[in-house]
Amino acid sequence: MAATLTGSGIALGFSCSAKFSKRASSSSSRSCIKMSVSVEEKTKNFTLQKSEEAFNAAKNLMPGGVNSPVRAFKSVGGQPVVMDSAKGSRIRDIDGNEYIDYVGSWGPAIIGHADDEVLAALAETMKKGTSFGAPCLLENVLAEMVISAVPSIEMVRFVNSGTEACMGVLRLARAFTGKQKFIKFEGCYHGHANSFLVKAGSGVATLGLPDSPGVPKSATSDTLTAPYNDIAAVEKLFEANKGEIAAIILEPVVGNSGFITPKPEFIDGLRRISKDNGALLIFDEVMTGFRLAYGGAQEYFGITPDLTTLGKIIGGGLPVGAYGGRRDIMEMVAPAGPMYQAGTLSGNPLAMTAGIHTLKRLSQPGTYEYLDKITKELTNGILEAGKKTGHAMCGGYISGMFGFFFTEGPVYDFSDAKKSDTEKFGKFFRGMLEEGVYLAPSQFEAGFTSLAHTSEDIQFTIAAAEKVLSRI
């Protein structure tokens, strides 16, 4: 079966600037040989004994042994890995196994783990205190950087997670429009707030739960859903709920059903329909913000929403979230306006510092060209390995975000994604782990590259993929 490329990210890819050509080039063949030998030794001696012991103990302390469900490896099988440290493009577990990491703490580590400049800045900030519960100047600095970068944001409110950002932005949309209903898309995840846990993809899909127990019907009665990339379904929802819909919220590129890109007419159509019906368009850019481009997916696609949520990268690896948008809407937020939202650790100096120094690095020339180059190389290489070894695969990428499915494809929505051979993905995941490559432990999650990944990392990963695919 052939491997096919899908997704607008392939067609819209950039070429790498000359500035990064040396950085991205492979090391000498001698270095590559050394790496392959060490991997053979690592595979032969691969053990997760300490991880198993720690995880068994954790199951008596925390539900399922984890603090976020996907980490339990339920959809891929095998022993969950307990991590110990990370640096650059590498992550190491408590058994001493080292992996090339394409999870990147689920997105934040875009300049690499434990960046020296970020760590140094955090050390200086910590000398002054870790949290004040009061305004600090660093909030102004990061706010100015976010506002200057993201087209839709004229004012911003910092919070502590993506879930909190989405909770706040939905409340704001309802307050501003005076309407209650909103549209989300099947397979898009906007955090674990009650109203969003309807056909939510991600961890919910991984566990096979259509919804979550404990969510009252009243909490989701105003949640309308449509298939991603289906503009006709959105139009029908507006027709059936005239004057009642406050907002449309979506991941502009889906990362919580695997990697799924929008059809060219889809987000254009959403912008038009929302304007025509007096509804707000919300981009959940917790994952895509500062990853697809410095100004996020809205810069990449040239579509400006009314409101945006952010997270992950803007905290440089520390807990953070944000929502922002048009000034007239944001002035509804307390204390400027009547829509209440607050947070004890919001805008804390450590998260602000890490975010500031991460964005400074990302604003440098050539950053996104380099991410695009290595991610293209990685995605094409894995899909070519699939084709060479006779597996049905499809996938795509945009800048530093990618994904692939074990299905012929193309994949345009969550129903297409669910056609994937998840058992085969589990075998592939476990095989790659033994080869020293750490991928997201679910078919329904996107992957991430970073500025710390080298061409040697990419070539090593492609070789490992071909090796694993040839034996499953």
**284 part of the active site:** yes
Q: Comparing C-alpha atoms, which of 75, 68, 31 is closest to residue 206?
A: 75
Listed in sequence order, the residues at least 6 apart from 448 whose beta carbon sits closer than 8 Å to its beta carbon are 102, 103, 104, 106, 107, 109, 110, 291, 400, 401, 402
Cα 303 from Cα 140, distance rounded (Å): 26
Residue 239 corresponds to which tokens in the numbers above? 């027709």
Choice among 284, 372, 416, 457 that is catalytic = 284
Q: Which residues pair with 322 in a beta bridge?
A: 158, 310
**340 part of the active site:** no
β-strands 393-398, 3-5 pairing? parallel
Residue 294 corresponds to which tokens in the numbers above? 């410095």
Report, in this order, helix, strand and coil percent for the chain, each rounded to 5.
Answer: 45, 15, 40
Residue 31 corresponds to which tokens in the numbers above? 């270095």
**312 part of the active site:** yes
DSSP state of 88: B
In the chain, DSSP finds a helix count (H) and a strand count (E) of 18, 15
Whether residue 349 contacts residue 130, with contact meaning beta carbons closer than 8 Å, is answered with yes
End-to-end CA distance of the chain: 14
Choice among 179, 181, 312, 427 that is catalytic = 312
Q: Comparing C-alpha atoms, which of 381, 377, 387 is closest to residue 409?
A: 387
Whether residue 293 contacts residue 399, with contact meaning beta carbons closer than 8 Å, is answered with yes
Work out the burial of residue 195: count CB atoms within 10 Å of its CB; fewer than 13 is exposed, 13-18 middle, 19 or more buried: buried
Query: For residue 327, what is the enclosing H or E element?
Result: helix 327-330
Choice among 102, 189, 368, 438 that is catalytic = 189
For residue 352, the Cα-to-chain-centroid distance in whole angstroms is 20
CA 101-102-105 angle, to 5 degrees, is: 80
Task: List active site positions.
Answer: 189, 284, 312
